[in-house]
Amino acid sequence: MRILIHGGFFSESSQSKETKEKKQKALLNILDLGKSYLKNHSAIETVIYTATLLEDDPLFNAGTGSQIQSDGKIRMSAALMNGLDQKFSGVINVENVKNPIIIAQMLMKEEDRVLGGAGASQYAENAGLPFYSTETPERKQEFLAKKESSGTGTIGCVVLDSQGRLAAATSTGGKGFEIPGRISDSATIAGNYANEYCAISCTGVGEDIVSAGLATKIVTRVTDGMSLKDAFNKSFKEMQSHDGFAGAIGVTKNGDIYFQESHPNIVFAAFNGIENIVFS
Ligand code: ASP
């Protein structure tokens, strides 16, 4: 069993040591909860459960505490991928729901598995999800001051369960201050991808991640026989030509785990099968 989570990118300049430590602590707590859950649940169930915990923590830029867009609204995106049957589902720019990842979960059973904008919000309402404002006073204050965020980050989780199944989940409030209608990488196969060999979740500048096709590219390389480390290194090297700004976490069916970032700094935590590790 392996579980890796990330709390997204943050800019070093806007991140105090104290905030970083707070995030690392929060990640380790959530990692432990996810790890216990994984003992009796599948990879896909565990990524959903763990992603909801990360979405509910206002320290992270997903669900509660999501960043505000240029028109003052919050639009969130999330995706889920089950390595077992290679099914992807996602929700793009949904408003006023507590846990976007739960909508992605609901969409798994639909024929139309990726919904966006007003249709996504309507789907959530029809499914009985209550109206919920994910705005927090901190994000509002940053928005009113037209300030960069104090360092919130997207969230992600990849899991290998005891039966060798893999899954990935990623959820985001976006970059902050974006043009309404902008599409994040998080609910695309560039930001979140899994098959029976490998599962990847990315964070960083969505445009760079999409341009690199990052998650899918790493998974494809591992599927074709490259080691996880080499697949990460080659894919990140390719991003250097356009100074791509990204980070990712990954796990393979053999239990290899890896993370990489093009620029400091992402907060990650992982259970490598023996012990918890926190990277920074
Ligand atoms: N990748 C996200 C986006 O661009 C942001 C992030 O990872 O922090 O929407």
Instruction: Kindly give the number of the ligand 1 atom that is closest to the alpha carbon of 61.
Output: 8
pLDDT at position 108 over 90:
yes
> How many angstroms is it from 229 CA to the middle of ligand 1?
23
Distance between CA atoms of residues 61 and 8, nearest Å: 8
The fold adopted by the segment(s) 2-278 is Glutamine Phosphoribosylpyrophosphate, subunit 1, domain 1 (3.60.20)
pLDDT at 63: 96
Instruction: Kindly give the number of the ligand 1 atom that is closest to the alpha carbon of 207.
Output: 4
pLDDT at position 264 over 90:
no
Write down the catalytic residue from 46, 64, 154, 188. 154
Q: Is 9 in the pocket of ligand 1 (CB under 6 A)?
A: yes
Q: What single string gives the DSSP state of each residue in the chain?
A: -EEEEEEEE--GGG--HHHHHHHHHHHHHHHHHHHHHHHTS-HHHHHHHHHHHHHH-TTSSSSTTPPP-TTS---EEEEEEETTTTEEEEEEEE-S-S-HHHHHHHHTTSSS-EEEHHHHHHHHHHTTPPP-----HHHHHHHHTT---SS---EEEEEE-TTS-EEEEEEE--SSSPPTT---STTSTTTEEE-SSEEEEEEE-HHHHHHHTHHHHHHHHHHTT--HHHHHHHHHHHHGGGT--EEEEEEETT--EEEEESSS-EEEEEE-SS-EEEE-
Domain range list for the chain: 2-278
Q: Is 154 in the pocket of ligand 1 (CB under 6 A)?
A: yes
Strands (E), 173-218: 192-194, 198-204
Site to probe by mutation for ligand 1, drawn from 205, 210, 249, 259 as the one with most ligand atoms within 8 Å of Cβ, is 205
pLDDT at 15: 63
pLDDT at position 152 over 80:
no
- pLDDT category at 151 given cuts 50, 70, 90 is low
154: annotated active-site residue = yes
pLDDT at position 14 over 90:
no
H-helix or E-strand spanning residue 230: helix 228-239
Q: Is 188 in the pocket of ligand 1 (CB under 6 A)?
A: no
Q: Is 75 in the pocket of ligand 1 (CB under 6 A)?
A: no
pLDDT at position 243 over 70:
yes
pLDDT at position 150 over 70:
no
Task: With beta carbons less than 8 A apart as the criterion, state whether 245 and 205 touch.
Answer: yes
pLDDT in tens, 20-77: 888 889 999 999 999 999 999 999 999 999 999 999 999 999 999 999 999 999 999 9
